[in-house]
Amino acid sequence: MAERGRGWARAVRGLLLDVNGVLYDSGAGGAVPIAGSVEAVRRIKASGLKLQLCTNETQASRESFVRKLRALGFDVSVAQVTAPAPAACHLLRERGLRPHLLVHHDLVPEFAEIDKTNPNCVVLGDAAENFTYANLNEAFRLLIGMEKPVLISLGKGRYYKETDGLKLDVGAYMKALEYACDIQAEVVGKPAKRFFESALAELGVPPEQAIMIGDDIVNDVGGAQQCGMRALQVRTGKYRSSDENHPEVKPDAYVNNLAEAVDIILQEL
């Protein structure tokens, strides 16, 4: 149990929540809500606290992602989701980049308005089964053939949890392309500071009045703390006991689950 009454729970106006591993566990048979999470979201909204979902989800468009969440019982809207694909589209337009996409097929609609002819960069997401040797090699050949190769990654997570166990995340494939092409990817999802700043802007709360709640010690907790936020790690999702001995990142608190965190925060309002 987290210690109640700690200073981390005070003077909060808004919460950023990771999704997979905090609200639900995903899996081939469908997502399964984590115990107490649906009610926790309802309580957050009823309390008047501002709420934003800050996710590295790149296996679906925001619209289909929100439909899935609502089907699970979560009362959220598209406007309450900060995700990497829209941020990447903004970057592509800003810099006149035309991407070759190595992403999950359900994410492709997010890039419908982006010019993809004669690619001059590669955009990498959690492509799941699309991470074949042939597809990775195609991305490699495009990058290695560019005078100034640009690799944009929609996150850098190492792994995530589904109901049947841990799965390799986009960061593992990003590192392979970085190594092969001797380049450094530009990350537009968590833990990038710009991504958290965008989420805070959409939340409408300064960092010192916001708390990030996630299951990833580096991408959720470390990324949020670098932006001046407090950050909690839940003991659900991809959490492992070894996280509590991380040499660099120390959460403001550990909580067993989202419901426990919300209970403590609401007691301090």
Query: How do residues 56-84 score in pLDDT, each as one tens digit?
Result: 989 999 999 999 999 999 999 999 999 99
Q: Is the pLDDT of residue 257 over 50?
A: yes
Question: Are the C-beta atoms of 78 and 68 separated by less than 8 Å?
Answer: no
- CATH of segment(s) 14-56+190-267: 3.40.50.1000
Burial of 79 (0-12, 13-18, 19+ CB in 10 A): exposed
Fold agreement (14-56+190-267, 87-187): yes
pLDDT in tens, 152-187: 999 999 998 888 889 999 999 999 999 999 999 999
Tell me the residue ranges of DSSP E strands in 169-207: 186-187
Alpha-carbon span 165 to 6, nearest angstrom: 33
Q: Is the pLDDT of residue 4 over 70?
A: no
Architecture of domain 87-187: 3-Layer(aba) Sandwich (3.40)
- Residue 246 carries which side chain, given as an amino acid letter? H
**pTM score:** 0.88
- CA distance to 61, 68, 190, per residue, from 83 (Å): 9, 15, 9
Q: Is the pLDDT of residue 6 over 90?
A: no
Average pLDDT over residues 123-145: 97
Question: Are the C-beta atoms of 69 and 57 separated by less than 8 Å?
Answer: no
Q: What does the domain layout of the chain look like in residue ranges?
A: 14-56+190-267, 87-187
Task: Collect all residues with Cβ–Cβ distance below 8 Å to 79 and sequence separation of at least 6.
Answer: 202
pLDDT in tens, 189-242: 999 999 999 999 999 999 999 999 999 999 999 999 999 999 999 999 999 999
DSSP characters for 51-113? EEEE----SS-HHHHHHHHHHTT----GGGEE-HHHHHHHHHHHHT--EEEES-GGGGGGGTT
Strands 210-214, 121-124: pairing is: unpaired
Question: Are the C-beta atoms of 261 and 255 separated by less than 8 Å?
Answer: yes
